[in-house]
């Protein structure tokens, strides 16, 4: 049992399961936007399948990223302790995990509706393809954001089988939000990326300019959050969550400086994790209670 728990912990660490908080609240928002529309309603089956799609797609993406980047992770002092470089999980085991998670994602999508099945390979192409973008473009942060941004629209499609404006706005919120905080996170590796021939916004420009790009992306995020509230005719619960989310976006830019990266982890993980959960809960509660 102890060995099984240890292996489970290794795989959960491989896919950084705790970081599910970045996209899961928005997947739930997309689901409930669809479920509260006329002609639809809550379905436990659909709800569980949406959660399954979310978990399997993200697990495949994270494990594939670790598989593809194992050589760079082994050279970087900050990442050498990760599961593959440290030998806790072999590359073969990681690849098998990626294949299994990808198949389970497609199977889960197939049980939803025709459109989710058709789009599932496209979603996989985006979330798996991200792992190679850092090799040739500093726009890799936007590709990561794009991958996570599929959650709200995908969840809405799972319910309705169609596209709509409001979940698309939420997708753009995720795109700009994630891209912005990923730039902050990558400040830690700017010199390593240059030395290794990798691309990131901090690696191709100064830290100050990289933070300016991150700030601009988050300014767009704030505008989109307001747009979502107006488009969805949101109530006070939504606007309360939106205000807290906005305040926490601003806060992370106040605690990270070009010459002081000591609070990057707080900005990246803690602040954004809490912000995403609060905002997502506010969106869902506003839909259900008002």
- pLDDT score, position 267: 82
182-220: per-residue pLDDT in tens? 999 999 999 999 999 999 999 999 999 999 999 999 999
Percent of the chain at pLDDT exceeding 70: 94
Q: Tell whether the model's pLDDT for residue 132 goes beyond 60.
A: yes
pLDDT band of residue 265 (cuts 50, 70, 90) is confident
Q: Which of 54, 63, 58 is nearest to 83 (CA)?
A: 63
Q: Tell whether the model's pLDDT for residue 3 goes beyond 80.
A: no
* Higher local confidence (pLDDT), 265 or 174: 174
- pLDDT score, position 286: 97
Q: What is the mean pLDDT of the chain?
A: 93
Q: What is the mean pLDDT of residues 269-286?
A: 93
Q: Tell whether the model's pLDDT for residue 180 goes beyond 60.
A: yes
- pLDDT score, position 104: 98
- Euclidean distance between CA atoms 165 and 281, whole angstroms: 20
**Cβ count near 140 (within 10 Å):** 23
**H or E element that contains 111:** none
221-257: per-residue pLDDT in tens? 999 999 999 999 999 999 999 999 999 999 999 999 9
Is 218:62 a contact under the CB 8 Å cutoff?
no
Q: Tell whether the model's pLDDT for residue 22 goes beyond 90.
A: no
- What's 260's DSSP letter? B
- pLDDT score, position 15: 67
- pLDDT score, position 290: 72
Q: What is the mean pLDDT of residues 147-161?
A: 96
DSSP 28-92: HHHHHHHHTSTT----HHHHHHHHHHHHHHHHHHHHHHHHHTHHHHHH-TTTTTSTTTTTSS-HH
Q: Which residues of 11-40 are buried (b: 16+ CB within 10 A; e: fewer)?
A: beebbbeebbbbbbbbbbbbbbbbbeeeee
The structure's pTM equals: 0.94
Q: Is the CA virtual torsion 255, 256, 257, 262 positive or negative?
A: positive
Q: How far is CA 27 from CA 54, 135, 137, 171, 238, in A?
A: 8, 29, 28, 9, 16
pLDDT band of residue 5 (cuts 50, 70, 90) is low
Q: What is the mean pLDDT of residues 12-28?
A: 76
pLDDT band of residue 270 (cuts 50, 70, 90) is confident
Q: Tell whether the model's pLDDT for residue 2 goes beyond 60.
A: no
Domains of the chain (ranges; CATH) run 20-289 (1.10.357.140)
């Amino acid at each position: 049992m102890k060995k099984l728990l240890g292996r489970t912990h290794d795989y959960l660490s491989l896919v950084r399961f705790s970081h599910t908080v970045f996209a899961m609240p928005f997947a739930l928002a997309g689901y409930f936007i669809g479920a509260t529309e006329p002609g639809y309603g809550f379905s436990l089956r659909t709800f569980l399948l949406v959660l399954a799609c979310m978990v399997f797609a993200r697990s495949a993406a994270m494990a594939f990223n670790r598989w593809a980047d194992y050589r760079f992770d082994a050279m970087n002092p900050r990442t050498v302790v990760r599961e593959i470089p440290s030998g806790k999980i072999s590359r073969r085991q990681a690849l098998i995990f990626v294949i299994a998670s990808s198949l389970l994602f497609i199977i889960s999508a197939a049980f939803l509706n025709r459109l989710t099945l058709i789009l599932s390979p496209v979603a996989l192409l985006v979330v798996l393809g991200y792992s190679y973008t850092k090799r040739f473009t500093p726009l890799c942060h936007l590709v990561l954001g794009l991958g996570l941004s599929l959650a709200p629209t995908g969840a809405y499609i799972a319910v309705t089988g169609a596209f709509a404006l409001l979940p698309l706005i939420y997708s753009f919120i995720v795109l700009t939000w994630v891209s912005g905080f990923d730039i902050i996170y990558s400040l830690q590796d700017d010199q390593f990326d240059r030395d290794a021939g990798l691309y990131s916004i901090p690696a191709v420009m100064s830290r100050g300019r990289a933070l300016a790009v991150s700030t601009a992306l988050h300014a767009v995020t704030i505008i989109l959050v307001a747009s979502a509230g107006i488009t969805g005719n949101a109530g006070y619960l939504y606007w309360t969550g939106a205000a807290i989310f906005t305040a926490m976006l601003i806060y992370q830019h106040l605690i990270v400086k070009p010459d002081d990266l000591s609070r990057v982890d707080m900005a990246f993980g803690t602040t954004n994790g809490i912000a995403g959960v609060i905002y997502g809960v506010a969106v869902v509660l506003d839909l259900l209670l008002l």
